[in-house]
Copies of this chain bind each other. A is one copy, B any other.
Amino acid sequence: MRLDLSADVADLTAAIVDIESVSGNEKELADAVEAALRALPHLTVERVGENVIARTGLGRAERVVLAGHLDTVPLNGNLPSRVEGDRLYGCGTTDMKSGVAVALKLAATVTEPTRDVTYLFYECEEIEAERNGLRRLAASRPELLAGDFAVLMEPTAALIEGGCQGTIRVEVAARGERAHSARAWMGSNAIHKAAEILDVLRSYEPTRPVVDGLEYREGLNAVFVRGGVAGNVIPDECVVTVNYRFAPDKTLDEAEAYLRTLFAGFDVTVTDGSPAARPGLTHPAAAAFVAATGAEVRAKLGWTDVARFSELGVPAVNYGPGEPTLAHTKDEFVEIPLIADCERRMRAWLTA
């Protein structure tokens, strides 16, 4: 299968959608993307696994990265793609092959961008983090992700979503002492004690920190609770798993320290965590992007792959033509005019 990068961006999207690429099965699409990019003399192309990286090398003062994942969630009777009116339906249309098509179209046609550009197409975004192509490249070949600013072309309904909140999970354990439940006073009930942990969660008032002009919204929630030994035993342990979503004004260490203070007196064990990412909109390349696209900017509350750039010191935003609420649905579609609109706005930015 050959990709024709001279085609209209909507037709290019349909062609990409019709190359099935459920996570783990990206090879055919990565081959097609690699072949199409290698035909372009102004780009240097590398292939690492099922990841394809193409770069201009014009010696510009700034370098920006446009990134998109090649994989989709499993099919749901929604291939091949089909057009109905202004909509292109099919698995991956919104998440995020329309974004990939825009990036490929720009790669082919913006031969002399005003900023050097790295185009980065990667595998396994929709599955477990260990296999995520961007994560693996960040660990093994961080220089391929280097730049002053990055745009992940995930579906955002044409809004710019800046930075992302961090997430940390801790297990907070209440201790007690076992006893037969017929003589409860001889023990100490850890589940009753855990009510004090829940009291902390109930009385928590979510803060709304403003970072680089964007308002975030933190959250502190129990996501699991477990306790109990037997139906006639006073339990000696109750563990509440707490998930803290924190704004990019805190580091991961600061988030952990905050939780340890909040749950002082209980055993606190960190099970996993990912740092927040600042939107970085104060950088000139980012400001130019916002101006050129003319899109509304808001804070990204969930954790996304932009944080992987942030960890390497590259500010990053999400921006793409897809509608995020349609992602992973059977009836996923993308509005065709938005794909061309996105291409036009990003072209303006790269050529200004």
Q: Which A residues have a C-beta under 8 Å from some C-beta of B? A: 165, 167, 169, 180-185, 189, 191-192, 194-195, 198-199, 201-202, 206, 217, 219, 221-235, 238, 240-241, 243, 245, 272, 301-303
Contacts and interface: CB of A to CB of B under 8 A. Distances in A.
Top-5 shortest CB links A-B: A224-B228, A195-B198, A191-B222, A182-B302, A184-B219
Copies in the complex: 2
A245 B194 contact: no
B191 A240 contact: yes
B223 A226 contact: no
Given A165-B182, A185-B219, 16 more contacts: A169-B231, A180-B302, A182-B302, A185-B206, A191-B222, A192-B198, A192-B222, A194-B225, A195-B198, A223-B232, A223-B234, A224-B227, A225-B228, A226-B228, A231-B272, A232-B243
A167 B243 CA distance: 36
B199 A232 contact: no
Contacts of A192: 198, 201-202, 221-222
Contacts of A206: 184-185
A198 B194 contact: yes
A169 B202 CA distance: 27
B185 A245 contact: no
B241 A231 contact: yes
Contacts of A227: 222, 224-225
A307 to B, nearest CB: 12
A234 B242 CA distance: 10
